[in-house]
Amino acid sequence: MRFSVLRLPLLLLLVAGVSMNPARTQDGPSQEREGAQSGQGETQEANAKKSPQDGEKKDEGEEGDKPAEEKKDSDKGKDKEDKEKDGDKKPEPLTLPADTGPLLYLKGEQVIVRPGKVLANAAVIVRNGRIQAVGQDLAVPEGAQVIEGKVLCPGFVDPWSSLGMDPLSMRDGGTDPTTSTLDALDLFVHPRERDEVLHAGVVAYDAHLGYNATFGGLGAMLRSQSSANTADMVIKPRTALWARLERSGNVVGGIDEVDSLISKLQSGDRYLTEWAEYESKLADWQKEIKELEEKLEKDFKKAKKDREKDLEKAKESGKEFKEARHKEPKAPRKPRFDADKDVLGRVYRGELPLVVVADGAAVLRNLLVGTAELPSLRMIIAGGGDAMHVAPELARRNIAVMVWPVDSIAHPVGAEDGANGLALAGDLVRAGVPVLIGSGISGEPSALPLYASLAVGYGMPEDHALAAITSRVADAFDLQGELGSLRRGRLAEILVLDGPPLSVGSRVQYVVSGGEVVVQPKE
């Protein structure tokens, strides 16, 4: 049948169009942007907006046996959608099977719900890998393992870590925007290091590859806890696009790199526009074809009769019979698929954050000028040795700086292996710039809380320093619904300490990660 023949390629096209379709739903970027914006602010209003049931008050007394599937965050749903669209067949790492994992009741004299907000004598109930309730008058559920401590605190999250990455891939010079961190994740290397990191209270970290490339690819948020299974370690497979400027080490070259970076982001945007145009043309065409089909179907009987009549006539007259031909409208031409441009376009539109590793004042200034016209771009500066030179602009645009404890290229004088970067943290906060603290390419992942302590020693307020390794990191990577705070529905990544989190005298007594107790006192 002619009609079915017409339909088949159409369906195929539709499927292909959707599966490779880089354009997102209209509300996509704006929603995500909202989250990120709030991430850099003091409060988490956006969180409240997204999940109004999260308030501690409401959590009180709720044992909440609701499993993890009850996902309220649009982010997550979208993530899933992303993957389906991209044809990513990997199992969804966030989905925890129902009724598995231990039931935990953690009680603390002080419960740091998020930096700056402390509940006295409160408890946290964990099941199925997630926090089910937080409150001051929670009863111990039956069968729960009870853990008591002085301070409960969200697990530390390192926004830039080298833990568990294959070193050569990490310093690769040939990566591109679609390179996936997961490709270099080595599950079996350095079990002792993972252990030390976990004992220091660092439960999760963002890692990426290609330090020596312009685009290091897509970072991933991973768990520190060892697992034989990659999926168990992945909290978010694609957190941000990482880029690095000044690879040449010279200033003018660095400026060129800024231009090139921005034009690549723009080309990504054009690419997505091209796809959007194609989609709309495709829809028009499909509509037209459908109408045509309907018309043909409707006129089928009449057409058949007409045809028979004509055939008869032709026979009578001895003339040759010509079949009526239907002119089919031409299908729009599909743009060529380009995975790199897809990612760049999403970054341009603010669907994914861009982390730019850069230090020099000239490059930072050019980067800020160049990106001023990209209103949706969500940028984070990593390194930022000279960031104080552009601090007012960073503060005005709420661009966070990820500080790491290493010599800054831009400061050959006094470039000791030490706390330079952390002194920067205090200075930036005083200038009103949001700050994250990471261990970076060559820092020690297990020393993350010590780096935060040092930053306090350099004048960073303590709540800011704690936020710089917890909630702010979650916000920066659109994980405010998962990490960085002790609220209902968040992943159960919790520390039990015998003192304030940033005191060197405090011991991490218990670590709960993935909903299980993974560190406990020896004996």
Q: Does 458 bind other proteins (CB under 8 A)?
A: yes
131: nearest Cα among 214, 79, 70, 88: 70
For the chain, the distance separating the N- and C-terminal CA atoms, rounded to the nearest angstrom, is 77
Q: Does 373 bind other proteins (CB under 8 A)?
A: no
Q: Which residues, listed in sequence order, are joined to residue 180 by a DSSP beta bridge?
A: 218
Strand order in the sheet with 130-135: 130-135, 117-127, 104-114, 145-154, 494-497, 508-513, 516-519
Answer for which of 32, 56, 73, 444 binds other proteins (CB under 8 A) is 444
Q: Does 113 bind other proteins (CB under 8 A)?
A: no
Q: Does 102 bind other proteins (CB under 8 A)?
A: no
Q: Does 497 bind other proteins (CB under 8 A)?
A: no
Q: 3-class SS at 20?
A: coil
Answer for which of 453, 471, 480, 513 binds other proteins (CB under 8 A) is 453
**Residue nearer to other proteins on the CB measure, 494 or 502:** 502
Q: Does 197 bind other proteins (CB under 8 A)?
A: no
Answer for which of 146, 432, 520, 521 binds other proteins (CB under 8 A) is 432
514: left (phi over 0), alpha (psi -120 to 50) or beta: left
Kindly state the smallest distance separating residue 450's Cβ from other proteins, in Å: 6
Phi, psi for 23 (deg, rounded to 5): -70, 145
For 464-515, give the DSSP string. HHHHTTTHHHHHHTT-TTTSSS--TTSB--EEEESS-TT-TT--EEEEEETT
Q: Does 420 bind other proteins (CB under 8 A)?
A: yes
For 215-283, give the DSSP string. EEEE-EEEESS--S-HHHHEEES---EEEE--TTS-HHHHHHHHHHHHHHHHHHHHHHHHHHHHHHHHH
* Strands 435-437, 400-403: pairing kind: parallel
Kindly state the smallest distance separating residue 193's Cβ from other proteins, in Å: 10
Q: Does 419 bind other proteins (CB under 8 A)?
A: yes
Q: Does 450 bind other proteins (CB under 8 A)?
A: yes
Q: Does 461 bind other proteins (CB under 8 A)?
A: yes
Q: Does 417 bind other proteins (CB under 8 A)?
A: yes
Q: Does 409 bind other proteins (CB under 8 A)?
A: no
Task: Compute CA 405 distance to the chain's CA centroid, rounded to the nearest angstrom.
Answer: 24
**Residue nearer to other proteins on the CB measure, 73 or 444:** 444
**Residue nearer to other proteins on the CB measure, 304 or 430:** 430
Q: Does 523 bind other proteins (CB under 8 A)?
A: no
Q: Does 471 bind other proteins (CB under 8 A)?
A: no
Kindly state the smallest distance separating residue 452's Cβ from other proteins, in Å: 9
Residues of the shown chain interacting with other proteins in the complex, contacts defined by CB under 8 A? 414, 416-420, 429-432, 443-444, 446-447, 450, 453-454, 456-459, 461-462, 465, 502-505
